[in-house]
A and B are shown apart, each in its own frame.
Chain A
Amino acid sequence: MNTQTIRQAFYKSIPVLAGYVVIGMGFGILMRNAGYGAAWAAAMSIFMYAGSMQYVGVGLLTGGASVLTTAITTFMVNARHLFYSISMINTYKDAGKYKPFMIFTLTDETYSLLCDGKVPAGVEPERYRFFVSFFNYCYWIAGSILGNLLGAVLPFSTAGIEFSMTALFVAAFTEQWLETKNHVPALTGLWCTLLSLAVFGRENFLIPAMLLITLALSLLRRDGEETL
């Protein structure tokens, strides 16, 4: 076992550590307030592992939603994972025994850490990606249990720490921008999402934005352009 691989994976996952523990705790507190203890919060984090959907899920549980409503809502909120998986087919193709776990734990944040396909020098690529995924998974579960047990009694102000998620995406966006000559995909993502936000409003714009992005990128594709 190459300890350098684990160390580098941990280093890569630190930005998510802060964000996941805090947002996970938020979810844990929400579950407690809805009357569900730590085992319930942990079960949702372990088996779903989908941040925004778990927040929505608390509402479904307390509201007594039907199975059908629950299934449709989950599909709508999590449809973006189809896109994450499509874009990781190539990167994960040699993951072997780690692959099922890595697919299961492909969240927004894990995706943003691994989507460029790069790994640091001197690490085993498949094991590195596995450990980044694994660390993030642990942070999320730990956060949700901790939040559920501790509740809202924290001795210091963490107001604003949720910005670490935004910062994570902005840093990834900037890095990809600096690395690529062709900025059409990045700009397509920004403009399609802004357009969708303006048309559909902040509650419902994510799915239309994804469809619009896919459509625009398909139309912009030139023959034989598999490598940019």
Chain B
Amino acid sequence: MKASLLIAVMAIVTILLRFLPFLLFRKHTPQYILYLGKVLPQAIIGMLVVFCLKDISPSGHLSGIPELTAVACVAGAQAWKRNSLLSILAGTILYMALVQTVFC
């Protein structure tokens, strides 16, 4: 019973966070919000990249070498072919190979 209540609370708060901006700016979207909508995606993707790599540290066990190698592979492949699926596959396979063989 308690678990259902807590899951309901988590679901409601999450849904509110997702819907609030759409409800607040339904009729008229201020220029400032439109500006944020334009620039935030690039900044937040940058933030998410850092977020994914937050657990690597120079003093750590693997010093982040597999992560940074695979990140370079993804960025390089993307710059070369401009095909996201290809870049993601190449980077992920390289990373899996590195952590399962070289750096295990």
Contacts and interface: CB of A to CB of B under 8 A. Distances in A.
A90 B34 contact: yes
Contact of B52 (A48, A90, A104, A166): A166
Given A70-B10, A169-B52, A175-B78, A86 B40 contact: yes
Interface in A185-202: 185-190, 192-194, 197, 202
Given A116-B41, A185-B42, A70 B25 contact: no
Q: Which of B10, B32, B33, B50 has the most CB of A within 10 A?
A: B10
Contacts of A1: none
Interface size class of A (residues with CB under 8 A): 35 or more
A136 to B, nearest CB: 14
B102 to A, nearest CB: 11
Q: Which of A89, A164, A171, A186 has the most CB of B within 10 A?
A: A171
B85 A15 contact: yes
Nearest to A180: B42
A121 interface: no
Interface in A28-42: 36, 40
Contacts of B3: 36, 40, 61
A67 B9 CA distance: 7
A80 B12 CA distance: 15
B23 to A, nearest CB: 9
A50 interface: yes
